[in-house]
Structure 1
Amino acid sequence: MKPKKSIALVTGASSGIGKATAERLAIAGYTVYGTSRRAAQASQQPFAMLSLDVTRDESVEAAVGEVIRLEGRIDLLVNNAGFGVAPAGAEESSIEQAQAIFDTNFFGMVRMTRAVVPHMRRQGAGRVINIGSIFGFLPMPYMALYVATKHAVEGYSESLDHELRTRGIRVSVIEPANTSTQFDANALEPDSQLEEYREIRSALVKKMKELVETGDKPSVVADAVLRAALAPRPKLRYTAGGRARGLQFLRRFAPARLVDAGIRRDLQLDAMPAGKAS
């Protein structure tokens, strides 16, 4: 791909990973359109912003249509928009809340892909890069719904890459570890809180805050996106940062029982009083 002539569309670009990615692509020579629900644009940003709600079909169609109207093509789609639920027991989120997180994190990606891929097919070329997570290949107790969406992103992306490869389109997943953003501050509280989970919920909220504060900078993820976008022969998966690479190595080669024990030890799950950690 030739960045100076390439058009990129990045969802969830108002802050964090999305903003860093849009800025990195713009510096590399792409003409970049970022999106957010509010479409606010600071004058110093090197990319344009469009209003987009990935949970609404008509909003997706309007944003993609606007880019096509202005540029005539889309060469790179980065599906980044998403949110999480604060640490809690899986049973503490209602079905409605579960559906809401999937509607953004997974079906939002599907909507965007369905809207953009027809244009890439006609071009005979394109890249779709989905922002996944290490939790797409690792479990994270008390974040089951978020983890489920990231597992879904992995499976969808791998299958889609096989479908589109012969049409000149490649699909990749970026797998960051904890990243220093406002992601945890924007996480939804579980809507069916139970007393049985109060202690572990409080402990894990503190733990997740520490992990985010010491996490990689968003630019680490943005650099991985650019590598995937420019690679002559892109890989399906790109880990972002040393911690993510280390965890991927452990998941692939360490005995399952050791990985399992390590997760429980790191989160101190077995230190909870009887009846409160299960």
Structure 2
Amino acid sequence: MKLSRSIALVTGASSGIGKATAERLATAGYTVYGTSRRGAQDGQLPFTMLSLDVTDDESVDAAVGRVIELEGRIDLLVNNAGVGVAPAAAEESSIPQAQAIFDTNFMGIVRMTRAVVPHMRQRGSGRIINIGSVLGFLPLPFGALYAATKHAVEGYSESLDHELRTRGIRVSIVEPAYTKTQFDANFMEPDAKLEEYSQIRASLSATLKAVMNAADPPEVVAEVVLEAARARHPKLRYTAGKLAARLSLLRKFAPATVLDRGIRKDLRLDARKAP
């Protein structure tokens, strides 16, 4: 893609991976529009912030329409907005809560894509980069709903890339492992907690906090997004960080039983009190 005056739209850009990505694209020469539910923020940013709620059709259409009005096109869409979920058993979230998680993490991407693709298709070019996760190809015990949204992103993105390739549009997924952001500070708590799981919830939360403190910074992911955006022949999947790369190799080449034991050992599931 031509970097000079290329127009990028990045969702969830108020902090973490989204903010780091918007900043990196701006320094690389893109005109960047970041979005968040809160819109413009205090402080100097190298990109413009817009108000956008990915769970609201009208909000999505308004923000995309505003960028088209100002710039005439969108060359790159980075779907990053999402909600994290505190460690909990799958049965500890109600059906409405499960739907809300999917509405942001998956349907938000669908809404953004539906709003942006017609403009890209009309011009015969464009890139869509969806921020996925290693949890798109790995399970997460006590994070089943979150992992399910990331699995959905994988299937949607790969299918979409096949659909749009002949229209000059390519779709890629960036798959980080743990990333050191404030993402976990705003975790959605389960709304149907059960006493049977209280001990393991507390233990897994402590484990997750320790892992996040030692995780890669969001700039690692931002650099991979730029790589995918610039690629003459983009790949479907890009891992971000050494841990993500190792996990991808394990998923591809390790026997299923080895991977299964590794997941349970890392999370110390068999050492914890069973519900």
Give the TM-score, by structure 2 length.
Answer: 0.99
Q: Provide the secondary structure at the position in 1 that maps to 2:186.
A: coil
Q: Provide the secondary structure at the position in 2 that maps to 1:40.
A: coil
Q: How does 1:90-105 map to 2 (within 5 A)?
A: 90-105=90-105
> Structure 1: how far apart are the matches of 2:43 and 2:72?
25
2:246 aligned partner: 246
1:86 aligned partner: 86
Q: Provide the secondary structure at the position in 1 that maps to 2:245.
A: helix
* Number of equivalences: 275
> Structure 1: how far apart are the matches of 2:23 and 2:240?
17
> Structure 2: how far apart are the matches of 1:232 and 1:54?
29
> Structure 2: how far apart are the matches of 1:200 and 1:85?
15
1:164 aligned partner: 164
Deviates more, 1:36-45 or 1:4-13: 36-45
> Structure 1: how far apart are the matches of 2:20 and 2:11?
12
Task: Could you tell me which runs of 5 or more consecutive residues in structure 2 were left unpaired when the two chains were aligned.
Answer: none
Structure 1 residue 43, shift from structure 2 partner: 3.7
Structure 1 residue 85, shift from structure 2 partner: 1.2
Structure 1 residue 40, shift from structure 2 partner: 2.6
2:203 aligned partner: 203
AA aligned opposite 1:172:
S
2:257 aligned partner: 257
RMSD: 0.7
> Structure 2: how far apart are the matches of 1:111 and 1:77?
12
Structure 1 residue 44, shift from structure 2 partner: 1.9
> Structure 2: how far apart are the matches of 1:137 and 1:243?
14
2:108 aligned partner: 108
1:37 aligned partner: 37
Q: Provide the secondary structure at the position in 1 that maps to 2:50.
A: strand
Q: Provide the secondary structure at the position in 1 that maps to 2:261.
A: helix
> Structure 2: how far apart are the matches of 1:211 and 1:168?
40
> Structure 2: how far apart are the matches of 1:72 and 1:225?
23
> Structure 2: how far apart are the matches of 1:95 and 1:75?
37
Q: How does 1:1-278 map to 2 (within 5 A)?
A: 1-273=1-273, 275-276=274-275
Give the TM-score, by structure 1 length.
Answer: 0.98
String of CA shifts for 1:35-64, please: whole Å, max 9, x gaps: 000013344210000000000000000000
Structure 1 residue 212, shift from structure 2 partner: 1.0
String of CA shifts for 1:136-184, please: whole Å, max 9, x gaps: 0000100000000000000000000000000000000000000000111
* Equivalent residues of 1:54, 1:108 under 8 A apart: yes
* Equivalent residues of 1:41, 1:48 under 8 A apart: no
Q: Provide the secondary structure at the position in 2 that maps to 1:163.
A: helix
